[in-house]
Every structure is written in structure tokens, then in C-alpha cells.
Amino acid sequence: MKVTRLAIALALVLALAVAEHASLAAGARVGAGAASTNPKVIIVGAGISGISAGKRLSEAGITDVLILEATDHVGGRMHKQNFAGINVEIGANWVEGVNGEKMNPIWPIVNSTLKLRNFRSDYDYLAQNVYKEDGGVYDEAQAQKIIDRAHEVNENGEKLSATLPPSGRDDMSILTMQRLNDQYVCAAYIKLSLRLFLRAD
């Protein structure tokens, strides 16, 4: 009974999404000139993953694809915001994994295809200040204590990750991992730095 109700609820949500974005969806067809009102494939989200999925399907000869997007732009987190007359890039500012054994497939696109100007991030000589919620800076010992705690949380996450099956089906967010290890980070800025550190590390 619960499964049936859940299936009905999901079907209604999908139907509402399709109806709400019908005008956008018509312009988001992968196949040029595709007029089918019953696409064979629906991709939810026109971020980099959704666009890449649509491109790969098209290359494989599957062109009856509909990409749904909830926002008014394509690109997901990659967009720009005008700030004081200057375009500020928001999201997707770094390409990770460019110095390992396997090259990130985005890196050749950034360099060769798009010819974007890029800089290597070097944090070795970066001054790191951890600011108090009410103003001022934490002393170096307190800041180091926070960084050590962040490393501990990260190591616990790696240990937990090693216990999961390699299928990837049991993947979880960092926040969920912290909760399972009873290391939930509250919203105070000093504790929030743990989460930011884990994202940046």
C-alpha cells in the first residue's frame, strides 16, 4: 500500500513538472526539430550532467529526449551574476583532478576546446584566518584545533566509505556521514568551517 501511494505521488510530481515546464521543455529537445509529445527519455536538470547525458544519448542515435530544467537558465550551478557592473562567475570555478594518474575529462575542454584562461590554485602560502562569529580572529592554536578536528572527521568518513560496497549505490553526503559518526556540525561559524574545509580539501 505504501509503495503504491509513493508511486502515485512521484507520478503526480513528475506530471506537474512536465506541465509546468512545457514551454521550456519544447525548446530543450535534443533532437533538432523533434515534435514528439511523448519523448522516449526525460532528463531532469539542464546542468552539466543533464546536458552531457543528452549529448551522449544524441551521439548514440537517441534523439527523442526531453530535458527539464526548473530554473530560467541552462548550466545548473554554472552561471554568472552581475555585481557592481562586473560579471562574477558563480559555481564551477575549479577543475579538480588535473595532476593525478587519471586526467579529469573537463580539463582538455577547458584548455583546448574553450581556451579559457586558467590559473593553478596554490594554497601553500595562503594566510588562513578563522573569524569569530562576533568579530575578531581566533588565535592560531584554536584555529589549528579546528583544522585537526576537520582532518579527524575526514578520516572517519574515509573509514566509513571503505565499509560501503563498491557499487556506489550506498553513496552518501558528507553531512550524512558526519551524522552517522555523531560528528554533526552545527551552524555556528566556527563549526561551519569544518564543513567548508571538507568541501575544499
Distance between start and end Cα atoms, the chain = 45
Q: What is the pLDDT of residues 48-100, one digit of tens each?
A: 889 989 999 999 999 999 999 998 888 888 888 888 888 888 877 778 877 77
Question: Residue 38 — very low, low, confident or very high, per pLDDT cuts 50/70/90?
Answer: confident
- Contact call for residues 132 and 190 (beta carbons, < 8 A): yes
Nearest to 147 by CA among 170, 128, 172: 128
Which residues, including other chains, have CB under 8 Å from residue 149's CB and lie 6 or more apart? Answer: 194
Q: Which residue has the cell 537558465?
A: 73
Check whether 17 has a pLDDT greater than 50.
no
Give me the pLDDT at residue 199, please. 54
Give me the pLDDT at residue 26, please. 40
Higher-confidence position of 20 and 96: 96
Q: What cell does 47 get? A: 546542468
Check whether 16 has a pLDDT greater than 50.
no
Q: Is the pTM of this model over 0.75?
A: no
Most confident range (mean pLDDT) of 30-39, 83-92, 164-173 is: 83-92
Higher-confidence position of 18 and 140: 140
Q: Which of 89, 96, 155, 158 is catalytic?
A: 96
Is position 133 annotated as part of the catalytic site?
no
Give me the pLDDT at residue 120, please. 78
- Contact call for residues 95 and 153 (beta carbons, < 8 A): no
Check whether 122 has a pLDDT greater than 80.
no
